[in-house]
Chain A
Amino acid sequence: MWKIQACLSESFNYARVIHSIMAVIDIRIELKKGVADPEGTNTKKTLESLGFNGIENVKTVKFFEVTLDMPADEAKKHGEEMCKKLLANPVIQTYSVTVR
């Protein structure tokens, strides 16, 4: 009896894995042009103090990797909604969503 159950549950899991469509989206939140980036500026200074020469600019970027159980085009739309509703403030940030 136990064996049958195990077998059933295994095949169920297998079925789930092959039928689910996973999409991984990369969400990149950047500061808008013209918005100061104090974290980047400070990091640049510190890197220079450690002896790294020739640094033109250091920019901080926020990055989220979101795994979704849906097709790629739908996942991209969801990612954009996520940016609008939480991840980016349109006053200071821009966002881009790419599907892997």
Chain B
Amino acid sequence: MKAKDVKVCVLRIEGTNCEDEMAEAFSMVGVSAEKVHLKQLIGQSPASLARDLEDFDVLALPGGFSAGDYVRAGAIFAARIKSALGPQVKKFVEAEKPVLGVCNGFQILVELGLLPAMEETMTPVPTAALYTNDSARFECRPTVLRNDNRGKCIFTSDVQKGKLLMIPSAHGEGKLMSMDPDFIDKLQDNDQIVFRYVCGNGEPAEYPWNPNGSPSDIAGICNPAGNVMGMMPHPERVMTRFTHPDWTRGYSSQDGDGKAIFTSVVRYLTK
């Protein structure tokens, strides 16, 4: 497949607010991205706007406050996807097509049962939760992430293991929780941990470098197959050097640190 033939579905409902940046980020790496409302996929739009999930190669769930974060962040968007599009989404994931969830998108993937999804592709009930930050505040600042994936996640194939990336966070509910006492060990064994928050110097993070109190400083995870990834920080906000906080202080690259995540997807689909 050629990059220009790759079609990305940036899925939104009311309250999603990062779809423009997400679509633009994919456009910047040479693929075509379309912002699609959920209603367009489930036959609730005028026929001319109707789309089929199957026609897309990537599904991206952007950040925002879908459905006003009512009930729980991401819960309503997830329930609407599950009721109207559940089997199609499952099929999409099982076809090993990439699914990316950022911030609210990560919360949706967890509520949807697509992450961590250790036992099956899509669990009927959530097996994890993204819960209120320890600080009980909306935490909004640049964060430093370390790529800790050993190679399974397709979203970091362009990022060296151990590399630090400066990617901004902006969320109120980002603490990853599970009922399983061995949750972190299992994630580690399955190579499902993708990003950890670290301090600016690469040392293990403490607040505020870990903005939410997530155990083991987890910022992003993938499913066991590696084609579904959710992360709290926003890579689509650092596609060029100009949105990097240090761009006037010796930041040398022309690209922002978030770009590698998008080029990784293209590499996976065009290999």
Contact = CB atoms under 8 A, between A and B. Distances in A.
Nearest to A84: B125
Interface stretch (A1-9, A35-43, A47-55): A35-43
A89 B111 contact: yes
Nearest to B213: A36
A91 B72 CA distance: 12
Interface in B130-188: 131-136, 177-179
A87 interface: yes
B29 interface: no
Given A39-B136, A42-B136, A92-B129, A87 B179 contact: no
A90 B111 CA distance: 11
A76 to B, nearest CB: 19
Nearest to B131: A92
Interface centre among B79, B125, B134, B135 (most CB of A within 10 A): B125
B75 A86 contact: yes
A36 B215 CA distance: 14
A42 B125 CA distance: 30
Interface string B105-127: 00000010000000000000111
Interface in B47-101: 71-72, 75-76, 79
A35 B75 contact: no
Contacts of A41: 136
Interface residues of A, number: 14
Nearest to A62: B71
A99 B72 CA distance: 24
B136 A86 contact: no
Contacts of A91: 126-129, 177-179
Interface string A54-94: 00000000000000000000000000000011110111100
B132 A39 contact: yes
Contacts of A39: 132, 136
Contacts of A89: 72, 75, 111, 126, 129
A41 B266 CA distance: 45
5 contacts: A38-B133, A86-B71, A89-B72, A91-B127, A92-B131
Given A38-B132, A92-B131, 9 more contacts: A36-B132, A38-B133, A38-B134, A39-B136, A84-B125, A86-B75, A90-B125, A91-B126, A92-B129
Interface of A: 35-36, 38-39, 41-42, 84-87, 89-92
Interface of B: 71-72, 75-76, 79, 111, 125-129, 131-136, 177-179
A-B CB proximity, top 6 nearest:
A38-B136, A91-B129, A92-B129, A89-B129, A86-B79, A38-B132
